[in-house]
Structure formats: C-alpha cells, structure tokens
Copies of this chain bind each other. A is one copy, B any other.
Amino acid sequence: MEILKKHKSFSGFTCFGEHESEATGTKMNVSWFMPDSKNPDHAVIWLSGLTCTDENFITKAGTQKFLSDNNMMLVCPDTSPRGLDLPKEHDSYDFGSGAGFYVNATTDGYSNHYNMYDYVKNEVVHFIQSKGVSKISLMGHSMGGHGALILGLREANLFSSVSAFSPIVNPINCSWGQKAFTGYLGEDTFHWKKYDACELVKLGKSRNEILIEQGLADDFLKEQLLTRNLEVACQESGQKLIVNYREEFDHSYYFISTFIEDHLKFHRDS
C-alpha cells in the first residue's frame, strides 16, 4: 500500500493510498482512518454506492471523532477498478466504472477485472489484518449496502457485524441490479442469486442481527431498493433484522451522517 495523502484528524490520521490488486488486475484506491494507537481494537469496512470513489464517505460522513474516541479503524475501498477501457465501461453511471456491484464478473473483458467481491473479501480484509486487527465489521450505502449484505451473509464468520444505509436488497428485481448483473454475469439469472440478499436469506444463509437505516423520502426506495422484500424474506427464514425507517430523510450523505454514529455503536457493541 502506497500512501498518497495523509491528514491528521482528531486523534489519528485520515489516509489515501493505492496498491496493486490481484482480484482486479489494476491499481486500486483505498482510504482509511487509523487512530493514534496504531493498534485499533476493531475495524469497519465501508462500501460506497454508485458513482462514489474511496473518498466520499471518509470526507463527508463525519466519523473520525467517534473512531478516535473508540480506537477503531475505518477502511473505504473504491467502487470499481479504474484506468481500464472495457466495452460500455464509461457509458453510464450505473454500470462499469464507479459501479462494480461487489460481484465477481464472468462476462468477457469484465471477468478479468470486475471482481470486487473477492477484492473486498480477500484484499481489503488482508489489509486490515496486516494491521493486527481481527474484529472486522461491514457496512455500506445503496449499492454498497447491497455489497455489505451479500458479503455479510455469505462470509458470516469473517465479519463480526453487518449494517447498511438505503441498501439495494433485491437487485435481481430492480433495474439497477438487472442491468449490472446482465453486464457482469450474463443473461442466465440463475447465476445472479448468490449476489442477491433476499435470495441468500431464502437459501438459508444467516448471521447475527443485521441493522438497516432507510429514509422514507428516498427517491429510490420503491423502484430500486425494495427494502420490504428483505423484511419478508427475513421474517420467513428467521433471520434477525432491524429496519429503521426515517421520515423526511433522503438517499444522501446528510442522511448517512445523521445516523452513522448509531451504526458505529452497533458495530462496536457487536
């Protein structure tokens, strides 16, 4: 990991770096917060949403005070490989660059690079473990909330707790997910199910309680996020789930920053 920028923040440093990735075959950008102890008790991975980079959350969410006070590390990977020029990669905001959807791609061209599932599971986790941290939690927003749910359900032993803001809970049934999964995984929807939180719960995947925060003024709730479908799947399977619906709040970082401390406490106390 090469450190590109480093800024003193509360009792620690906010850092931006890049490293060569096996999973993507490219350099990958990562940001993180390291408390002054350099020996954190706990790390939280944040997975960002469509169009974001590794910079959005660590710049806007206002977590550094809580992380400082609680001797916690934060790691924010980028949302896709960069610097490639694959077919259709840069044509739209919801596919390709900035939109990796946390899957391992199988389609031509993408299969060599768009392996964000393995990237997070192996390389981001390894980066944290290399700092001596074994307790790792996972959270994310929108597309990144989807990422947190699927990784958290499939790798239950790797992540001590999972939460999400405004997650895409059922991508096989919304246009964002259908477009991305067609592009990364091909037309056969059978292969999509292992990347769909609702389908994973139906298949019997389970873990400790999941926490979700969802704004009721979120423009994407009805068409893309489909939160209710996960509530139904969890009720039927017995998976514990808390969904906090928040009146007037939208899909933005202003929503995230309002409730992020509640989520960090949930992870700290898990």
Contact, CB under 8 Å: A249 / B8: yes
Contact, CB under 8 Å: B59 / A255: no
Contact, CB under 8 Å: B9 / A257: yes
Q: Jot down 12 A-B pairs with beta carbons below 8 A, ordered by A.
A: A7-B254, A7-B255, A8-B215, A8-B248, A8-B258, A9-B257, A59-B60, A59-B253, A62-B65, A64-B257, A64-B258, A65-B258
Q: How far is the CA of A164 from the CA of B249 in the complex (A)?
A: 32
A217 contacts partner chain B, Cβ-Cβ < 8 Å: yes
Interface size on A, residues (CB 8 A): 22
Give the oligomeric copy count.
2
| Closest B residue by C-beta to A11 | B258
What 5 A-B pairs are tightest by C-beta distance, nearest first?
A62-B62, A7-B254, A9-B254, A8-B248, A8-B249
A245 contacts partner chain B, Cβ-Cβ < 8 Å: no
**Chain A residues within CB distance 8 Å of chain B:** 7-10, 14, 59-60, 62, 64-65, 215, 217, 246, 248-250, 252-255, 257-258
Q: How far is the CA of A29 from the CA of B129 in the complex (A)?
A: 45
Contacts of A246 in B (CB 8 A): 8
Q: How far is the CA of A258 from the CA of B65 in the complex (A)?
A: 7
A43, chain B: closest CB distance, angstroms: 19
A55, chain B: closest CB distance, angstroms: 11
Q: How far is the CA of A7 from the CA of B8 in the complex (A)?
A: 29
Contacts of A248 in B (CB 8 A): 8
| Closest B residue by C-beta to A14 | B254
Q: A7-B250, A10-B258, A59-B253 are in contact. List 6 more A-B contacts (CB 8 A).
A: A8-B255, A9-B254, A9-B255, A14-B254, A60-B60, A64-B254
